[in-house]
Amino acid sequence: MKVKSHLLLGAVLVACALVLVHWPSLWRPIGSVAATAAAMYVGVALAIHVGGVLAGGGVLIAALRSHGRTHRDDRGAQGATLHSPRFYDWLIAVYCFGREGRMRERMLDVAGVGAGEHVLDVGCGTGTLAVAARRRVGAGGSVHGVDASAEMIARARSKSARGGLPVKFQIAAAQSLPFSDTTFDAVICTLAFHHLPEDARAAALAEMRRVLKAEGRVLIVEFSQRDGAWAAIHPVALLHSRKTWQMLDEAVALLKRAGFARVDTGPIGFGLLGYALARRD
């Protein structure tokens, strides 16, 4: 908000300077001074803000790379697991510019989650989306969340308890879901698909399809924008390989191969994220 206010004030000063410059000759000296002052103000403001963003981005990248080396070295059958839930929540807040709640509601809108439904969040992380889904489904519905990380599940359970919204969280791998066939109306997997090993992704989608009811939906949210200036400088983008930016395309292909006849795609509207929404016939 401070950045916007400074830039707006700078723009107003520039506009005033331009008016004065084109005023009668009596005002030209004043206009010249005002234009110079406005230009200096805008220049200094931009330099400060751009410098701050670049410095902050550099610190973020360095911290995340260090975090990755320390906490993401346990790739195996389950895939990469994260062990710093507080850091993860902070990262998501940075990515969404503090609008995580709105982003989660947008995901639930796309998935069509409504009252009385039974929902599964695969790769639930710290449980923010699952708790939001529980609020939507109400007393007549239920929400389960699974994640391979014990630390993430512990924080998710804590969030659920604090919010007074009962969500059943448990440690489990996406490719081996501990649920009976045709249990859920909707299965959601957000920013977790790229953590799975390549040879396990098809199995994970097959499991999601297995636990879905007829006409049930599966929502995959992943990075989808690979080009442009924003993708080139975004701190989170820089932490992921180019292959990750093709993850949504891969998910769409695998969804069709898994037997989902209808697959819709589109932007989430936050950052560089897109979605694939598929229905089980």
In Å, what is the CA distance from 254 to each residue of 51, 81, 107, 187?
42, 22, 20, 16
User: Do 94 and 227 belong to one domain?
Assistant: yes
Same domain? 203 vs 275: yes
- Is 158:89 a contact under the CB 8 Å cutoff? no
Do 41 and 91 belong to one domain? no
Range of the domain at 33: 2-71
Of 112-116, 216-220, 232-236, 256-260, give the lowest mean pLDDT range.
Answer: 232-236
**Domain identity same for 100 and 28:** no
Q: Based on the structure, what is the number of domains in the chain?
A: 2
Residue 47: CA count within 13 A, CB half-sphere = 6
What pLDDT score was predicted for residue 65?
46
Which pLDDT band, with edges at 50, 70 and 90, does 98 fall under?
A: confident
H or E element: which one contains 33? helix 28-71
127 or 232: which leads in pLDDT? 127
Q: Which residue has the higher pLDDT, 273 or 147?
A: 147
Helices 2-21 and 28-71, axial angle in degrees (round to 10): 160
Q: Please give the span between the terminal C-alpha atoms of the chain, in angstroms, as a whole number.
A: 46
Q: Are residues 191 and 101 both part of a single domain?
A: yes
Whether residue 80 lies inside any domain: the answer is: no
List the structure tokens of 88: 């993860």
The H or E element that residue 142 is part of is strand 142-147
Number of residues in the chain: 281
> What does the block give as tokens for 188?
């959601």
- For 75, other C-beta atoms within 10 Å of its C-beta total 12
